[in-house]
Every structure is written in structure tokens, then in C-alpha cells.
Amino acid sequence: MPKLASLGAETAVAIYRTMVRIAQCDQRIQQGLAAGDLQFQYYPAGGQEAIPATIMALLKPDDLAVTTYRVIHDIVAKGTPMREIMAEMYGKVTGTCKGKGGPMHLTAPDSGLMVTTGIVGAGAPIAAGLALAETMQGTGRVTVCSFGDGAANIGAVHEALNLAAVWKLPVVFVCQNNLYAEYTSFAESTASESIASRAAGYGMPGESCDGADPASIHEAATRAIVRARSGEGPTLLECIAPRLQGHAFGSDTDHMDQASLAHAKAKAPCITVRQRLIDEGLATEGQLAQIEAEAKAEVDDAQRFAIDSDPPPLSELQSDVFADSADIPYSRQAAAAAEVHAPGARRQMTFGMAVNEAMAIALERDPAVFLLGEDIHDPAGGIVKATIGLSSRFGLDRVRPTPISEQAIVGAAIGASMRGMKPVAEIMVNDFAMVAMDQIANHAAKLRYMSGGRTTVPLTIRSLTAGNVGSFGAQHSQSLEAWFAHTPGLKIVAPSNAHDAKGLLLACIDDPDPCIQIEAMRCFFVPGDVPEGHYFVPLGKAAVRQAGDDITIVSYSWGMQEVHGAAVQLAEAGHSVEIIDLRTIVPLDYDAVRASAQKTGRVLIVHPAVEFGGFGAELAAKLQQDLFGKLKAPVGRYGAPYTSIPFAKNLEAAYFPNAGGIVERAQALLGYR
């Protein structure tokens, strides 16, 4: 074991001071839980205090960190004020996240603690994205990503390690191996001898060290941080520190080897480091007692501050969902910006060409914009050539092909967006978004809210739906807008034509919130009249495509093609149809739909996705609720049947909504008595 003296007295004592502050805070929280003053799920840090106390001491104040739900030692060590930490534990407005995040989601960007995730392993792709942003901006900052040995076996961590190695990102992956993944021992969950030994498979260094010994940690972490800062890429650092208690507060220890547990408690880092400081002549008993008294006083003060602070006002309940709370569905209607066109000509181009042009304009106008996704570089240019020519024009630094790693793609986009970049991530087809749903729904959507508005995630995800174009089958053809819309914090657009594809995408890229543009392959090669240059189609503004008096038909995406065909047939039968293209699902222009419903008295909602539980059900329910007794017929819906998407062409044709089916349902509503 290397001597603490190798660190120098000042550094060694400073590390001990941080360890004691961690231990005091950790113990005070557990005392509050035991007394019933606090009520939440808590994961103590006993036995792991030395890891962040040492590693964070090696970082610069503006370096970054990502951690997991066993967080208290990391956030204290990163320099977050103790008062803010304790206030968050008490759910007070003065907490790090205004009481909205709590102990599993502590976020403190001012001190560089960017994300604490309650999802095992999910922070690793985000850490890669943070490091990517710092690389692209040339700041020289390093990101440290902490996770447990259990997380080392989850896919998101593997994807992040590989991506970071491929791109040589300045990130240090720190596995805090406490030898138990919740209630399962390391030997039961992992066949490899160590976590660090896996690093060779990713083409990066891996190193194991004694996570209870600051000198051992300091030596290994110094190498990793120097490597990252010098541009050589990531390191996988495994710090082995036996856990001193059960998985969570109140958990039993029956699953743990009792002899090993007793030994670990006797050799607890705070005990052994204290004695070593004295034995090596680096500090006196009196000096250490003073440090311990100061740490206790700091926690006493923080607890009093937390108790005396106010809870968040009820107005906080729906703040920080979006940058503008007016974008929440059915809230006061946001004043949608007028559509602004740059002066100039209009020309014919396909939907796909319009998407390509939007990205080119965004890349040209804003150096913070970059693209990432599978096969997006030349000569491939994406599976439908949406990005063709862009890597040749703007370079591979800004048009970044990725491994086939949807979690890493979205996570990297999240992290980069948190540091001032505006990533546009391509998920090849909508179905594959489910692989990354944790990153999309638990992180991109929630980070602003969970952080009390201290974090913003201005990213855009483009995703193709390949349904109804020729037998792509059940796993390449879905339209998942209802899934996305059910997650507060996501904005969803579904353009039906080239004009909107360009204008909506430019609006998404400029938006401060995470946006998903669903692009239908069926629309991709359809030409339309598109303005030259830069313009926005404002989010939250539906378009009345055709005025009418007898019935309103509402749709979006490729459903509009079938609606227009049906409207022609209905007109031939003497019926006047009003057509509304939602364009944006969230934020929703409900006022436009309601106004049309009041005008015509009949509404049919058409969408490509499964009818059961589809977005049409939400819209229909709201219209029925608001206009009950005022409509001439119940609100109708027409979506796909409750089955997977079939391969056979005749079955696929019967599966998706079509003009004939729209006419049939519209006539039923028109004839309702």
C-alpha cells in the first residue's frame, strides 16, 4: 500500500476532510430517515467515501461529473454547497433542484455535477456526450462518470465505453465496485476477473485500484485524468471498496458474507485514513478532531437551513416541463410565432430534399449544430439519403457516423446539448427508438424538470417511419407518437409535406427543449413547393388545409395523403370537408381543432398508429369532454387495428388507414342521428 505521504500532507488532509464531510452528511440523512423526519429511498455511501474525495480533488473546478443514485459522496466531493444538498433531501425550494429531483436525481451544474440518474448505467452515454461537447468546443475539460459494478453489466455502459473509445473522448469511467449489485455478489453477476479487464476490448486502458485507499486511487486516477486531458481518450478505472451496509437504508445484510462485512467495517476508510495520517505524521489528533468538528457543524447548519426553508410553491408543479409552460397540452394557448420566410424564391423539392436542406442551413448558420447517427456520412448519406453530401461539405466532426448504438446516440446527444451544443440525432427507423427509450423518456424528457430548470436539453431526434410503403414488417414500420406524447417534456412533430418538413425541423433545432421529428418514408419522395433559405414552421400551430362545413377530419404525417383523397370522394358525394393537419402533436394546437369541431359539429381523427390507445383517443376524449351535447355526432377515430404490422402486401394494405376507410367512417358520422 503506498503511503499517504506520497500525496503531500496538504492533499492528504484535504481528502480526509472531504471524506469526513461525506460521512457526516451521509449519517445525518440516515438519522433523519430513522427518526421519520425524512421519507425516501436512500442508498448510503459508507465504504466508498475515499473514491470521489480523491478523484474530485484531482479535477479542476469546471470539470464535469455524472453519477448514479448512490450519490451523496459524489455530490459533496464535487463541491456542491451542503445547504443546497440537505435542502433537496428535505424537498425544499432552496434545494439543488428546488425539491423536484430528490436524492436520486441531485443535479448541481454550478459545481459541475451535471446528472445524477436513478437508472442503472444510464449516465454513461450522457457522460460521453458531455465529453464530446467539451472536445468540439476545445475547452480541455474532463468528464468523470461514476457507476457501480452492477451497472457494468448493462448495455448502455458498453455502448458508451465503445463510443468514447472510438471518438477518443476525454472521459474517465469510474466503476465504484462495492462488490454487490444490489443483493447479488460480484462473483454471482460477473464472470470476468475484474471490471477493468474489459477495457482492452474497447481499446482503452483499464486499471483496478484499492477504493478505500486515497494513495492508490490518486495514482491511478492521475494517469486517467492526464490521459483524458491530453486528448488520448478514455480510461476505465475500477475502484474496489467493500460496502459497509445493505443496498439501501434499512436493507438487511443477510445476502452479504458476514465475516467480510465485519472486516470491512473494522477497516472502514474514514477509520484507516485517519489513523494513517497520524501514523505518517501528516496530521495530529487535534487537527483531525477540529476537521471532524467543522464537518459536523457544517451539516448541523445545513440541516437547520433545510428545516427552516420553504417547500416549493404549488406553482412549481408544472414549471420546468418545457422552457415555456404554455407548451404543456391544454394549458393556456401559447402565442405561436408567425411563419417567417426569408425573402426569396420558392422551388420544388421532395420531402427528403427539404430535410437535407434544413440540416445544411442549420449547420451553416450555427456552429453549435451537429449531426450524429448510423450511416449518415457520405457516400451512404443515410438509408434514404437524408444526409447525403453533408459530411463532405461540413466534415466528419459535425456530421458524425456512429456505431449501431441507439442508447449511445441519444445519450451522447443529451450530454452534448447540456453543454451548449444543438445535436440532431438520427434514429434510423422509429421502431429503433424503443432501444433508446430510457434515454429519451427518462433523461431527455425529464432532466429539465428533475433539475428544477437548471439543466436544458435542446436536442432534436429525427426518426423515420417506414409503414405503408412496401412490406417492412412489424419491426420497421411503426409510428410511436403516442408513446412519445405520453412522456411530459418531449415535443413531437409529424410533417406531412416538404414545406413543413424543412420548416418544422429548423424550428426543432432552434427550440430549447428536446424535439422528435417523425418523418414518414411514404412522404419522403413526394415533391412540394418549398421556400428557399431559412424559415420556421412554428411548433404548436396546426394548418387548416381545406375549409369546410359538414365534417372536420384531423390527421398528420402520411395520413394527410389519405385524408385528401377521401375529401375528394366526399365532395363528389356533396359533403364539405374541413381538413386539419396537426403538424405538431406536442405542443398541441387544440384551439384550432376545437374551433373546427364547433364549426362543423362532426370530427374524425385519422392516424397511422394503432387505434387502441393512439393519440386520436386522447384528442377525441378531450373534444367529447369539452363539447358534450354540442356536437352532431360522437367523435370518430380511424387508426390501425390491434395487431402487429403484417408483411404480406394485401394484409399491409388492409392494416393501414386508407381513403376508402376514411370515407366510410366519415359517412357514418355524417349520417348519425
CA dihedral 52→57→60→63, nearest 10 degrees, is 0
CA 12/CA 282 separation, integer angstroms = 8
610: phi then psi, degrees, rounded to nearest 5: -55, 135
CB 615 within 8 A of CB 587: no
Please provide the size of the chain in residues: 673
3-state secondary structure of 493: strand
CA 118/CA 103 separation, integer angstroms = 9
Side chain identity, residue 415:
G
CA 66/CA 132 separation, integer angstroms = 14
Please list, in sequence order, all residues whose beta carbon lies within 8 angstroms of the beta carbon of residue 173, skipping any fewer than 6 positions away.
124, 127, 145, 147, 157, 160, 161, 164, 234, 235, 236, 237
DSSP letter assigned to residue 173: E
CA 297/CA 21 separation, integer angstroms = 10
Give residue for cell 457544517: 298
Give residue for cell 487535534: 286
CA 521/CA 463 separation, integer angstroms = 10
Q: Quote the strand ranges of 322-392, DSSP E.
A: 340-341, 346-350, 369-373
Rg (CA), the chain: 28
CA 330/CA 170 separation, integer angstroms = 43
CB 47 within 8 A of CB 268: yes
CA 489/CA 204 separation, integer angstroms = 36
Question: How far is residue 216 from each of residues 65, 174, 221, measured CA to CA in Å?
Answer: 21, 14, 9
Give residue for cell 451512404: 380
CB 494 within 8 A of CB 523: no
Active site residues: 476
Answer positive or negative: Cα dihedral of 401, 402, 404, 406: negative
CB 413 within 8 A of CB 376: no
